[in-house]
Amino acid sequence: SQQGEEDPQALSIQEGENATMNCSYKTSINNLQWYRQNSGRGLVHLILIRSNEREKHSGRLRVTLDTSKKSSSLLITASRAADTASYFCATRQGGSEKLVFGKGMKLTVNP
């Protein structure tokens, strides 16, 4: 079964608005990562947050992690049409060498 579950499954917003995506997971983790995928092809790493971190920023991205609730959120501020893509969270469990990906969330940013 998938470790990460993104919520919502799909989100449509207007350019300039903020987009928030949530990810929940079941077991303890070493870190949580967010990836972006365009057009069903290769994924691109966006940001990684470790289990001892609560918040991280990278450009227009802000990631939070709440290990007590086993959840993370990805916030994209001032969205652009080019942000239209699918976004995946992935978790690495302690001691595991594998990432477990969620099913993804499709974001559409309308110009």
Partner 1 sequence: GAGVSQSPSNKVTEKGKDVELRCDPISGHTALYWYRQSLGQGLEFLIYFQGNSAPDKSGLPSDRFSAERTGGSVSTLTIQRTQQEDSAVYLCASSSDPLVRGVDEQFFGPGTRLTVL
**Could you say which of 16, 17, 44, 55 contacts partner 1 (CB under 8 A)?**
44
Backbone angles phi, psi at 57, to 5 degrees: -125, 145
Q: Which amino acid is at 42?
A: G
Q: Which is nearer to partner 1, 40 or 59 (CB)?
A: 40
Q: Which amino acid is at 75?
A: L
- Residues 6 or more apart from 48 whose CB is under 8 A from it? 31, 32, 33, 34, 56
Q: Minimum CB separation from partner 1 for residue 28, in Å? A: 16
- Beta-sheet pairing, 10-14 with 105-110: parallel
Q: Minimum CB separation from partner 1 for residue 92, in Å? A: 6
**Could you say which of 21, 102, 107, 109 contacts partner 1 (CB under 8 A)?**
102
The residues binding partner 1 (CB under 8 A) are 2, 31, 33, 40-45, 48, 88, 92, 95, 97-104
